[in-house]
Amino acid sequence: MKDETCIFCKIAGGEIPSATLYEDETFRVILDLGPASRGHALILPKDHYADLCALDEQVASKALGLAARIGAAMKKALKCDGFNLVQNNGTAAGQTVFHFHIHVIPRYEGGPQIVSWEPGTASSEELARLAEEIGAAL
Ligand code: 5GP
Ligand code: ZN
């Protein structure tokens, strides 16, 4: 299903041109217009899913394998030293386009820290409580 108001539906469907590095019946993989690093790509399903929680399970299972292939191709073609997968869900998490996508971000030794945080602290009691709370909601 497509969403007529969604820019990523239009890009994934080829209605809006994009720098496409891979396409099959389920996905289009494009280069991000505002790259975090050289070669930053976005994996877009051709059907519209707002986020990971809305994603079809079969599409989800194919997406991770495709991400591995794209990352491996980046290492070969761009000589990057690694790559990050980033997948934002919800405004609070930084999602700005509400069509599920996976960022594949090449990383270069000595390059800027792109995906990192200062580790916080938590007691083992707190961790146990949280695990219980989240587990009960599954
Ligand atoms: P989000 O913040 O939702 O996880 O990521 C959206 C990403 O889409 C951003 O990195 C942004 O640069 C990229 N983006 C937004 N609009 C377009 C577009 O029209 N074309 C391309 N290629 N990338 C886009
Ligand atoms: Zn869409």
Q: Mind listing the pLDDT tens digit for each residue in 12-51?
A: 999 999 999 999 999 999 999 999 999 999 999 999 999 9
From residue 100, alpha-carbon distances to 26, 43, 47, 82 in Å are: 13, 9, 9, 23
Note the pTM of the prediction, 2 decimals.
Answer: 0.96
Whether 103 is catalytic is: no
Which of the listed residues 5, 6, 31, 42 should we mutate to test ligand 1's pocket, taking the one with most ligand atoms within 8 A of CB? 42
The pLDDT assigned to 19 comes to 98
State the pLDDT confidence band at 68, using cuts at 50, 70 and 90: very high
Beta carbons of 8 and 97 less than 8 angstroms apart: yes
